Structure 1
Amino acid sequence: MSSELKKHHFDFIVCGAGTAGSVVAGRLAENPEVEVLLIEAGGGDEHPHVLEPGNWPLNLGSERDWNFVGAANPHLNDRKIPLNMGRGLGGGSSVNVMLWARGHKNDWEDFAAQSGDPAWNYASALKIYQRVEDYQGACDPVRRGKGGPVHVAPVRDAQPIANAMLSAAAGMGIPVFDNPNGAMMEGRGGAALNDLIVKDGRRNSIYRAYVAPRRGQPNLTVLTDTLVSRVLFRDQRAIGVQTISNGQTECFYANHEVILSLGAVNTPKVLMQSGVGPEEELQRHGIALVQQLPGVGANHQDHVSFAVIFEYATPQAVGYGGSEATLYWSSDSTLRLPDMFHCQVEFPVPSAETASLGVPVHGWTMFAGLAHPESRGRVKLSGPNVTDAPIIEPNTLSHPADLRNALENIRFVQELGAQAPFKGLVKGESLPGKLNTQSLEHYARNAAVTYWHQCGTAKMGQDAMSVVDGQLRVYGVQGLRIADASIMPHVTSGNTMAPCVVIGERAVEAIRATYDI
């Protein structure tokens, strides 16, 4: 489409066609009077590895992946862990495990408290979810939606291992729910079969839900294979963006606003390279300061998990996408949010460093995950140019509480996997096995991997480290908003795709109110 493009002026420019960006562009384009440009660095989504649910692992390391890698981390035995991120129409929603996890009630209450804006509270988020969902599961008009753009369906015909996991959880006193997105996430947590964005056996990404039906409208322009290199400012107002495509630099201009939806790595990178961020970091790379915001790139968070791998007694089939059951639980009933976030995967998934420890050919993995790690990282620049790779310092396990909780979570999963419902289905535990505390710590540092939920690097709030306000407007400048996971004050309980849909919807509510559109 870029070769045909003659227009360079639009009402809104949305940078990034991932989960939140697709929501923003698709919703704004509903009004035929509003001219929208959506810019995506990657290509299209017509690929069997995108469309076939079971093929998602084949996207990792492909051209549909930014292939980010964290800096060497002394807390992980100096490992550099892969931090894959979707690149292409749909972003993460085109390459992820398709889980629809809406977050805990208190995640949204926290967002409202941090932003000082009740429009972020749970009651408001619930209304948005009801509006966006086309839920195919059991009727729950109080909590679930019908007729919205996002097709959400419970796992069908779950594999025996997924059902065994639910029975095992029940045996340990953890309540089992008929879905993970209703009452379960208003209390202490529980176990449930997953909700997925799979429609008629194919992935139905957020791009497919919001933007694809509007392609062809004269007021919506979608550019692929086009990199946003920086935001253009006149004084303190964002007036457009500079892009690079096929080696050609172009500028596009926004009559109203630029919305950054580039994700928790590229959003702070583009902000800093445009002159918005910590003054020291910009000075280091000779970038002229437009607005001093020390929080840009700070507060990096991600879910971390540790594989506990079990061997099957006999080989088992892999269900839709291979992840059919999830367990969220609060180890202490007084906690406001679940601290455990465990995902079942129907094949063995060791880290690169634990792969040599005796992984069974046929087995399943229970990822022992930390729902709310205390460790915080940072995204920094390696240089001033769009081609200069970002430096990501996740600092995983840098907070001592995270290592303690990691060991507790691993031991919990080992106990879960030893429960009676697995009898006859599972031969036994392969990794990590019975280890003393020191050996288990060593295993945890080598086994730690991301759940691919990077967020927080341009957080919403009211303190000195906040980057956007409750309306998602970037502090100190005009005409610039952020709508993606980077605005999260803290990571939500569970997978981040569904909360990013809410973030996109909230951005659109704020934009419509501002311009009466």
Structure 2
Amino acid sequence: MASANRLSKDYDVIVCGGGSAGCVVASRLAADPDLEVLLIEAGGMDDAPEVRDPTIWMRNIGSERDWGFASEPCPGLNGRRAPLPMGRVLGGGSSVNGLVWARGHKSDFDLWEAETGDPGWGYEAAVDLYRRIEDWDGPASPLRGVGGPMSITLPKDPIPVVHGLLADACELGVPAVADHNAEAMAGDGCCAIANVNVDRDGQRVSTATAYLRPKIGQPNLTVVTHALTRRVVIENGRAVAVEFEHDGEIRLARARHEIVLSLGAINTPKTLMLSGIGDAAALRRLGLPVVQHLPGVGQNFQDHILVAGCVFEYREPSAPRNNSAEFTIFCKSEASLTRPDLQPILEECAFGSEVTRPAYDLPVDPSACFTLAPGLIRPKSRGHVALTGARPEDPVKVHANFLSEEADVRALLRCVEICREIGHSDALRPFVKRELMPGPLSAREMLTFLRNAAGTYFHQTCTAKMGRDPMSVVDGSLKVYGVDGLRVADGSIMPEVAGGNTMAPCVLIGERAADLIARALATKTDLPSRTDLASRQLDGAAA
């Protein structure tokens, strides 16, 4: 990686954050040899065994490759602080997560198109982008891509219990499919062996390995790791430079054309606010200058909820394989819903929270048990990210507000029922010795269990959403309203969290951002400009 001492004074584009989307943006733009691109990443290189080996991905959580965020106490979680793991390493979440590749439901992209008025975010456009992204070696489908940078496959030898899970989910009316990312993603639900981003040698494929590594060494691409973005410098309404910390020094890199924030749903709004972009009253209370009044910055925080979980003891030990999460279900908590709102997933260990693990004395040996973890992918609960001070060193507060909406509680209680039904099914009797957690509880006890067991699905999103309403932060071209030369490209731009694991949609966001920027730079006619919405928001700040 380049030393910051060798940084040139100016770049055409600066990308802040080398995660699931940021690596894609930097790599795609660097394909043009006439563009000088700088990528700034707070974490280090992705050369750790825990990153490469899909079977031990969970060891990344809580390590130096994790930002270590936690929510404020959530009343819906009985006052617990939920850990909020996020990747702090080249490749971001794609280097530390559970490797499930889920594209998102057709309705997600229909919503993105409706919110922005841009068909480039619609389902047909999304399928085209995914075809470009993927190198899929599973069942052939016109919806899937071959030859793209991301190797996507099916686990070749899933643990035996997976076949029982598939059979029983079918008995409950959830059809088994060979590929949950094909036609099923426009339907009412399915169960399947999960797509995973693993190469032919069984190694993780992140956006760092798939996109960035082939470009490392090009003279027009500079990658600086262990470089913490502090703020964007804005002069006369235009983003012109990035202030960052490297080797204990504060440095400045200037951008001739564009700056892209790809820092994730916690650090992107933090950086925007520290740069003077956010709710004017909140910024003034901290003594920060108001560059652009955008009250939606940091609001609309969303995350899927994962419950730890419905744990069953094996009759015979079964060691985890592949990504240790080889099976997933997309289903509905109520038949009247128009799209799946639940995503239980297999965890090939005894998965418990800091409360439930000791309470149930769960085994440490992962080969002793499996967990069918209830998951909610259409949460109604909303939270927000707030600054605690005007310095980049000051931590943020993440008010996740998990299970603050009664609808989320009802949906997850139903999901626990579904997971327990599957665990006690005839198809699983050859594998299951007994249920360890939660067991047959009263309604009140089950609610207490849920609040003690629920937490993050690692899918924090939506805090700088795209759209056209006054709470939107970016438009359909990902330009920050009212600030020239500044875009956001990460999961924070989702208006609503996608209906499935969020890595794949973040890669798609990176691809779309790169297209939009390249087109703007090629034509010189699509440079960011202030909009009527921004003017209305500025009027609101003055009022």
Please list, as runs of the form range in 1=range in 2, the aligned pairs for 1:243-254 lying within 5 A after superposition.
243-254=244-255
Q: Within 2, Cα distance between the matches of 1:498 and 1:347?
A: 25
**Structure 2 equivalent of residue 437 of structure 1:** 443
8 Å contact 1:303–1:451 — kept in the other structure? yes
**Structure 2 equivalent of residue 211 of structure 1:** 212
Please list, as runs of the form range in 1=range in 2, the aligned pairs for 1:139-288 lying within 5 A after superposition.
139-140=140-141, 142-199=142-199, 200-288=201-289
What secondary structure, in the 3-state scheme, does the structure 2 residue paired with 1:196 have?
coil
**Structure 1 equivalent of residue 485 of structure 2:** 479
8 Å contact 1:348–1:359 — kept in the other structure? no
What secondary structure, in the 3-state scheme, does the structure 2 residue paired with 1:93 have?
helix
Name the amino acid aligned to 1:168. Answer: D
Please list, as runs of the form range in 1=range in 2, the aligned pairs for 1:58-457 lying within 5 A after superposition.
58-140=59-141, 142-199=142-199, 200-306=201-307, 307-361=309-363, 362-457=368-463
Q: Within 2, Cα distance between the matches of 1:60 and 1:360?
A: 19
Range that drifts further, 330-339 or 471-480: 330-339
Name the amino acid aligned to 1:374. Answer: K
> CA distance change for structure 1 residues 342 and 281 in 2, over 3 Å: closer, same or farther?
same
8 Å contact 2:244–2:251 — kept in the other structure? yes
What secondary structure, in the 3-state scheme, does the structure 1 residue paired with 2:468 have?
coil
Q: Within 2, Cα distance between the matches of 1:335 and 1:172?
A: 17
Question: How many equivalent pairs are there?
Answer: 516
Q: Within 1, Cα distance between the matches of 2:335 and 2:272?
A: 41
Name the amino acid aligned to 1:494. Answer: G
Q: Within 1, Cα distance between the matches of 2:247 and 2:217?
A: 23
> CA distance change for structure 1 residues 359 and 108 in 2, over 3 Å: closer, same or farther?
farther
8 Å contact 2:35–2:220 — kept in the other structure? yes
Q: Within 2, Cα distance between the matches of 1:344 and 1:6?
A: 46
Q: Within 2, Cα distance between the matches of 1:280 and 1:342?
A: 41
Q: Within 2, Cα distance between the matches of 1:130 and 1:318?
A: 31
Q: Within 1, Cα distance between the matches of 2:300 and 2:163?
A: 37
8 Å contact 2:342–2:375 — kept in the other structure? yes
Q: Within 2, Cα distance between the matches of 1:417 and 1:312?
A: 11
How far is the alpha carbon of 1:406 from its aligned partner? Answer: 1.4
How far is the alpha carbon of 1:330 from its aligned partner? Answer: 2.3
Q: Within 1, Cα distance between the matches of 2:284 and 2:59?
A: 40
What secondary structure, in the 3-state scheme, does the structure 1 residue paired with 2:151 have?
strand
8 Å contact 2:4–2:246 — kept in the other structure? no
How far is the alpha carbon of 1:331 from its aligned partner? Answer: 3.4
Q: Does 1:462 align with 2:485?
A: no
How far is the alpha carbon of 1:334 from its aligned partner? Answer: 4.0
TM-score normalized with structure 2 length: 0.94
Q: What stretches of structure 1 of length at least 5 have no aligned partner?
A: none
What secondary structure, in the 3-state scheme, does the structure 2 residue paired with 1:112 have?
helix
Q: Within 2, Cα distance between the matches of 1:280 and 1:315?
A: 58
The CA deviation string for residues 458-509 of structure 1, in whole angstroms up to 9 with x for no partner, is 0011101000000000001100000000000011111000000111111112
Q: Within 1, Cα distance between the matches of 2:485 and 2:376?
A: 37
Q: Within 2, Cα distance between the matches of 1:465 and 1:4?
A: 40
**Structure 2 equivalent of residue 52 of structure 1:** 53
The CA deviation string for residues 365-412 of structure 1, in whole angstroms up to 9 with x for no partner, is 111111101000000001111111111010000011111111111111
Runs of 4+ more than 3 Å apart: 331-334
Please list, as runs of the form range in 1=range in 2, the aligned pairs for 1:9-48 lying within 5 A after superposition.
9-48=10-49
The CA deviation string for residues 426-449 of structure 1, in whole angstroms up to 9 with x for no partner, is 112111111111111100000001
Q: Within 2, Cα distance between the matches of 1:76 and 1:384?
A: 30
What secondary structure, in the 3-state scheme, does the structure 2 residue paired with 1:462 have?
coil
How far is the alpha carbon of 1:515 from its aligned partner? Answer: 1.5
8 Å contact 1:309–1:359 — kept in the other structure? no
Calculate the aligned-residue CA RMSD, in Å. 1.0
Range that drifts further, 357-366 or 190-199: 357-366
Q: Within 2, Cα distance between the matches of 1:99 and 1:259?
A: 26
Please list, as runs of the form range in 1=range in 2, the aligned pairs for 1:482-493 lying within 5 A after superposition.
482-493=488-499
How far is the alpha carbon of 1:226 from its aligned partner? Answer: 0.3
Name the amino acid aligned to 1:466. Answer: S
What secondary structure, in the 3-state scheme, does the structure 1 residue paired with 2:245 have?
strand
How far is the alpha carbon of 1:6 from its aligned partner? Answer: 3.5
How high is the sequence identity, in percent, across the aligned residues? 45
8 Å contact 2:382–2:400 — kept in the other structure? yes
Q: Does 1:497 align with 2:490?
A: no
> CA distance change for structure 1 residues 36 and 3 in 2, over 3 Å: closer, same or farther?
closer
**Structure 1 equivalent of residue 532 of structure 2:** none
8 Å contact 1:107–1:337 — kept in the other structure? no
The CA deviation string for residues 161-205 of structure 1, in whole angstroms up to 9 with x for no partner, is 112111110111210000110011110010000111111111111
The CA deviation string for residues 205-247 of structure 1, in whole angstroms up to 9 with x for no partner, is 1111111100000000000000010000111100010011121
8 Å contact 2:46–2:208 — kept in the other structure? no
